Amino acid sequence: MNITFCGAAETVTGSCHLVETGGLKIVLDCGLFQGARKIERRNREGFPFVPSEADFVLLSHAHLDHVGLLPRLVKEGFRGEVIATAPTAAIAKLILADSANIQVEEAAYRSRKARRRGEEALPPLYDMGDVLDTIDTFRRGVNYNEPITLNDGVKTIFHDAGHILGSAIIELRAEGKTLLYSGDLGNLHKPIVRDPSDPPQADIVLIESTYGNRRHRSMDDSVAELKEAIDTVIGRGGNLLIPSFALERTQEVLYELFRLWQNKELPKCKIFLDSPLAIATTRVFARYPSYFDEEGKEIFARSPNPFNFPPLHYTQTADESKRINAIPEGNIIIAGSGMCSGGRIIHHLRHNLWKKEAGLIIVGYQAHGTLGRQIVDGAPHVNIFGEQTAVAAQIWTVNGFSAHADQPILLDWLKKSAAKQIFLVHGETESLVGFKKAIAKSLSTDAQVATWKETVVL
């Protein structure tokens, strides 16, 4: 068995690992690299394997950093099969279509600038045609805990990862060994989704390390912080912006806002969900209640519910979005992208970031090099659409909403897997170093930090 780390090695984005076993080439996730320019350049470098030779892609979940390079893999010759849970497949199609639109728009913008300089511009990574070809490769949905035979000697089983709707931990059995790929592991007690499943016993584990060096504050503390931010900002008549990942984080924030509203703890305001992608993914959620936890099933069976309650307004078109800035302030605006690297949130930041009465709640991970990270790191000014913009709004970082497990959860999960060999993926340097030390101390097993393009023979 060989494993090649093709992405999310010493960084959090671009998840992709090639496993060669039992005569098959199996790709675990095929994600987009995001963040700093030198990381994003990897999207154009080509895969460290021949795409046409790969037999399967097994998808852990539908976040862009786990599925976003799939159309490129197809464009470069992949003709195998993509296997995912039904919600992952449904959401991946939306995420990839949105990504193709962004790629094409950005390429057109680059091309205009390059032509002025008399240079050639980079084409889009892929377009909608490539996404349609990619959708053809999703031929089979998989249920949790149901073994799937890939060939005579290789089986896979997906387990609930509790990270986002439909997310999976992927188990591969081949050559008498069990390999476990954690995908992204969920935090405990998150709204809507279930807690991550306990792992089966495994020989080899590839585990995410996003918060390998951190302990999250509790969900109750986070909800209290959310409430404090709302009372403060709405109380002084400012707008409260929540940059949010369209998938999962948005739905969780809506869930908590709904609970505040239900308990009459939400001040009078409007809540705008200003993201066509988030609106579309919210609809997919409503289609798969069987993937919710018990509390989620109960809440969503009723009306009003977190996706449909009086203060909540969905703004679909660009015109509706622009009108938000024309109404009196004192509202909550949820918009993408989650790391402020594009999308409608940029327009809202331009309108609000320089105002003392405004507020910004950061509810998700901010990768190095993104606008969101600069704001969290305390930059006094940031560049928005080429203009220096002062950061005067009040900033809250609420990390209990994290969709990722923290160090104690990751360690407990690893311990249960009884893994003999551990590879750390999907983390930035400080998390990887901290997690490796913690593993050595509490499990007395040596974990290895995966390196980009490295192949290990097992």
Q: Is 123 helix (H, G, I), strand (E, B) or coil?
A: coil
Site string for Zn ion, 99-118 (x = CB under 5 A): --------------------
Pick the binder of Zn ion from 184, 208, 274, 329 (CB under 5 A): 184
- Of the listed pieces 57-65, 82-90, 228-236, 337-345, which binds Zn ion according to CB under 5 A? 57-65
3-state secondary structure 165-215: CCCEEEEEEECCEEEEECCCCCCCCCCCECCCCCCCCCCEEEEECCCCCCC
Nearer to Zn ion, 359 or 400 (CB): 400
Q: How far is the CB of 117 from Zn ion (least distance, A)?
A: 37
Nearer to Zn ion, 159 or 348 (CB): 159
Taking the C-alpha atoms of residue 399 and residue 32, their distance in angstroms, rounded to an integer, is 24
Q: How far is the CB of 4 from Zn ion (least distance, A)?
A: 21
Is residue 63 a contact residue for Zn ion (CB under 5 A)? yes
Q: Is 308 helix (H, G, I), strand (E, B) or coil?
A: strand
- Of the listed pieces 87-95, 140-148, 176-184, 331-339, which binds Zn ion according to CB under 5 A? 176-184
H/E stretch holding 412 reads helix 407-417
- Of the listed pieces 62-70, 106-114, 190-198, 372-380, which binds Zn ion according to CB under 5 A? 62-70
Is residue 249 a contact residue for Zn ion (CB under 5 A)? no
Q: How far is the CB of 163 from Zn ion (least distance, A)?
A: 6
Taking the C-alpha atoms of residue 374 and residue 119, their distance in angstroms, rounded to an integer, is 30
Kindly report the CA angle at 125 between 121 and 126, in degrees rounded to 5? 120
Nearer to Zn ion, 25 or 63 (CB): 63
Pairing mode of beta strands 154-160, 148-151: antiparallel
Is residue 93 a contact residue for Zn ion (CB under 5 A)? no
- Within 13 Å of residue 270, how many CA atoms lie on the same side as its CB? 11
- Within 13 Å of residue 259, how many CA atoms lie on the same side as its CB? 15
- Of the listed pieces 50-58, 87-95, 144-152, 184-192, which binds Zn ion according to CB under 5 A? 184-192
Q: What is the DSSP string of 53-120?
A: G--EEE-S---HHHHTTHHHHHHTT--SEEEE-HHHHHHHHHHHHHHHHHHHHHHHHHHHHHHHTT-P
Q: How far is the CB of 404 from Zn ion (least distance, A)?
A: 7
Q: How far is the CB of 184 from Zn ion (least distance, A)?
A: 4
Q: How far is the CB of 157 from Zn ion (least distance, A)?
A: 20
Taking the C-alpha atoms of residue 166 and residue 159, their distance in angstroms, rounded to an integer, is 10
Q: How far is the CB of 34 from Zn ion (least distance, A)?
A: 12
Q: How far is the CB of 119 from Zn ion (least distance, A)?
A: 36
- Binding residues for Zn ion, rule CB under 5 A, total 2
Taking the C-alpha atoms of residue 16 and residue 28, their distance in angstroms, rounded to an integer, is 6
Taking the C-alpha atoms of residue 139 and residue 1, their distance in angstroms, rounded to an integer, is 26
Is residue 225 a contact residue for Zn ion (CB under 5 A)? no
Is residue 344 a contact residue for Zn ion (CB under 5 A)? no
Let me know: does 95 contact 109? Beta carbons within 8 Å. Answer: no
Site residues for Zn ion per CB under 5 A: 63, 184
